[in-house]
């Protein structure tokens, strides 16, 4: 069984942008791949374990995990389905980012850690609009599920622009760190494909691949998100071991 087949068998792949290329990267080469985490909460939840387990599994098979901490994107916030996120201060975002990095380092001590605040914060407004915003068609952005679900209630330009920022991450990591694959939960598929679209327009021909995995859901079908009720935190001070196993 190949590594790609093993991931399928383990239920760790839901969507893939280019299956042949994904098989080549995972089965034949040793590549860098990344997963991003926004510091919108002071801890990760049990729902994030799916991505962490997959990173650990790929690392054991010779691939290099890159953990992206969203110091910049966390200040904006990925659009929620129902309402606008409460904006964090820079201090809150940086504090949460450090806590989340410490959590992941315990499980992936040899991973490479990067923070998108280091490059996104250096992009001025004119450069953002000309170098990145120019490549995004509004009709294309509105068609994304994350935006569609908010159109009736309304969505701010701040959250509407989130997918552009996340797309910038992948282009940056592909060009500067030779990262070939982005992994994420299935709720991030729209952002992952937006990154591929920006890659095509900015880089041209490329060999980047996006893959998503099914979400870990609660009994009522909702996800174990940081902003959801009943979150199971990967922090014993927020969720005790007893509560975790009930």
Taking 60 as the threshold, does the pLDDT of residue 131 lie above it?
Answer: yes
Residue 141: per-residue pLDDT = 81
Rounded Cα distance between 199 and 180, Å, is 11
Does 246 fall in a domain? no
Residue 229: per-residue pLDDT = 56
Does 236 fall in a domain? no
Residue 82 region by backbone torsions, left for phi larger than 0, else alpha for psi between -120 and 50, else beta: alpha
Residue 192: per-residue pLDDT = 94
Does 86 fall in a domain? yes
pLDDT tens sequence across 25-84: 999 889 999 999 999 888 888 888 889 999 999 999 999 999 999 999 999 887 776 677
Residue 173: per-residue pLDDT = 98
**Packing angle between helix 90-107 and helix 49-60, nearest 10 degrees?**
50
Q: Kindly indicate the confidence band of residue 226, based on its pLDDT and cuts at 50, 70 and 90.
A: low
Residue 128: per-residue pLDDT = 94
Does 115 fall in a domain? yes
Does 107 fall in a domain? yes
**Could you give the 3-state DSSP secondary structure of residue 154?**
coil
Does 145 fall in a domain? yes
Does 25 fall in a domain? yes
Task: Give the CATH number of the domain where residue 169 resides.
Answer: 3.40.50.620
Taking 60 as the threshold, does the pLDDT of residue 10 lie above it?
Answer: yes
From 57, 67, 82, select the one nearest 6 (Cα to Cα).
57
Rounded Cα distance between 241 and 44, Å, is 15
Global pTM?
0.90
CA 189 to each of CA 25, 58, 221: distance values in angstroms, whole numbers, following the listed order: 19, 20, 18
pLDDT tens sequence across 147-171: 777 777 777 888 888 889 999 999 9
pLDDT tens sequence across 176-206: 999 999 999 988 998 999 999 999 999 999 9
Does 235 fall in a domain? no
Which residues form the domain of 81?
3-217
Token pair 């916030």 in the structure block, residue: 77
Average pLDDT across the chain, whole number: 89
**Could you give the 3-state DSSP secondary structure of residue 66?**
strand
CA 162 to each of CA 54, 108, 121, 144, 203: distance values in angstroms, whole numbers, following the listed order: 25, 27, 14, 12, 20
Task: State how many domains the chain has.
Answer: 1
Residue 36 region by backbone torsions, left for phi larger than 0, else alpha for psi between -120 and 50, else beta: beta
Which range (14-28, 114-128, 212-226) has the least confidence? 212-226
Q: Kindly indicate the confidence band of residue 138, based on its pLDDT and cuts at 50, 70 and 90.
A: confident
CB burial of residue 198 (10 Å; 0-12, 13-18, 19+):
buried
């Amino acid at each position: 069984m190949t590594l790609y087949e093993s991931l399928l068998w383990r239920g760790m792949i839901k969507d893939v942008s280019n299956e042949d290329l994904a098989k080549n990267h995972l089965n034949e080469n040793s590549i860098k791949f990344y997963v991003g985490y926004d510091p919108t909460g002071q801890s990760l939840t049990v729902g994030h374990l799916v991505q962490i387990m997959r990173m650990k599994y790929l690392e054991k098979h010779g691939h290099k995990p890159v953990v992206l901490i969203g110091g910049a994107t966390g200040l904006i916030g990925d659009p929620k389905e129902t309402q606008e996120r409460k904006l964090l201060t820079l201090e809150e975002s940086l504090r949460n980012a450090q806590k989340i990095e410490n959590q992941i380092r315990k499980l992936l001590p040899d991973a490479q850690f990067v923070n998108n605040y280091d490059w996104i914060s250096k992009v001025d407004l004119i450069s953002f609009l000309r170098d990145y915003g120019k490549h995004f068609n509004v009709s294309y952005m509105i068609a994304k599920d994350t935006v569609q679900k908010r159109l009736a209630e309304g969505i701010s330009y701040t959250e509407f622009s989130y997918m552009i920022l996340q797309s910038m991450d992948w282009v940056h990591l592909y060009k500067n760190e030779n990262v070939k694959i982005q992994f994420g939960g299935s709720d991030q598929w729209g952002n992952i494909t937006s990154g591929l679209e920006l890659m095509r327009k900015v880089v041209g021909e490329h060999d980047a691949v996006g893959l998503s995995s099914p979400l870990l859901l609660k009994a009522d079908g909702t996800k174990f998100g940081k902003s959801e009720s009943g979150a199971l935190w990967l922090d014993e001070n927020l969720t005790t071991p007893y509560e975790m196993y009930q």
